[in-house]
Amino acid sequence: MSYTEKKKKGDSKYFYRVRSYRENNNVKKKRKYLGKDLNEQELKASEIEADRELDILGNLLSNEEIDKLDLLKRNFMKNSEKNFQNRYETFISRFTHDSTAIEGNTLTLQETAGLLFERLSPSSKNLREINEVLNHRDAFDLILSFEEDVSRKLVLNLHELVMKDILPDDISDQIGKYRSVQVYIRGVEWMPPAPGDIPGDMRNLFSWYTRNRKKLHPLVLASYFHMGFEAIHPFVDGNGRVGRLLLNFILHKNEYPMVNIPNRRKMDYYECLEKGQVDGDLRPFIKFIYDLMMDSELQF
């Protein structure tokens, strides 16, 4: 159940929305700060929004799924450093191949691996496709070494790496910056926000992440952030690749194995994203990522 707590400090009143729940025969609580000195209308609106976060986001994974994810994490942490390089090369080859293929890159998995680790450039591929693969590896290496948390700095740096020497000359000034033009997405019925709304929307997304990074399960946190990022579509191009890198950055930061979305599952991925973004049904995307994590034989 959810209820509102009121605390008085000096002449001000501070409001908190609380959800109590039972876990392993213990009663636990989650809290969300609503604001101070709220009038009745402001309080009601804040309570509704808080209940959406506390109730919906807090129940997207079953206890059984959480237990299995905990076991996955424990087993993952036992991975030997002795085979780190092998796991790194195998995962980044697959992740780079699939993430760029989702966006139309035609390099095969073998060509991707050869380019990344043997510098073998396929003669039949154009320079843009080759740069997409090499850039993706540079961006992946950044999320492995980045010691801070999700931020505007990280997002812009990733975009700059992903899109280096790729954008046409007439929009090359958009690299590493929030877009200054309207973009449209094929095959969907909604339109990303106007350029002027992007800075504020991204600040709100970063703020949501900061408030919830210690409250929500990392899989829910990473998935919701990914859906929000893709809905904002802050860049003129490269949103999918940057978004999937950020999804894996959050998982990696919380010591869970990263996830690779296969190109063959592209339509499932898009459908689950749209259900979350348009219908507000977040569960399909959570389950999609959960299943990929649990079914993967390669952990990195």
Q: Rounded CA gap, 283 and 274, in Å?
A: 12
Q: Is 97 among the residues known to form the active site?
A: no
Tell me the sheet residues that pair with 7.
14
Q: Spot the catalytic one: 97, 217, 233, 252.
A: 233
Contact 276, 94 (CB under 8 A): no
Q: Rounded CA gap, 97 and 259, in Å?
A: 13
121 token code pair = 């450039």
3-state secondary structure at position 33: strand
Contact 195, 182 (CB under 8 A): yes
Tell me the sheet residues that pair with 12.
9
Q: Residues 207, 210, 212, 217: is their CA dihedral positive or negative?
A: positive
One-character DSSP codes across 97-152: HHHHHHTT----HHHHHHHHHH----TTS-HHHHHHHHHHHHHHHHHHH--S-S-H
CA-only gyration radius of the chain, Å:
21
Query: What is the enclosing helix (H) or strand (E) of 97?
Result: helix 84-102
Contact 47, 33 (CB under 8 A): no
Close Cβ partners of 187 (under 8 Å, ≥ 6 residues apart): 270
Torsion of CA 130, 132, 138, 139, to 10 degrees: -170
Contact 246, 156 (CB under 8 A): no
Query: What is the enclosing helix (H) or strand (E) of 7?
Result: strand 2-9
Residue with tokens 């390669």: 298
Catalytic residue ranges: 233
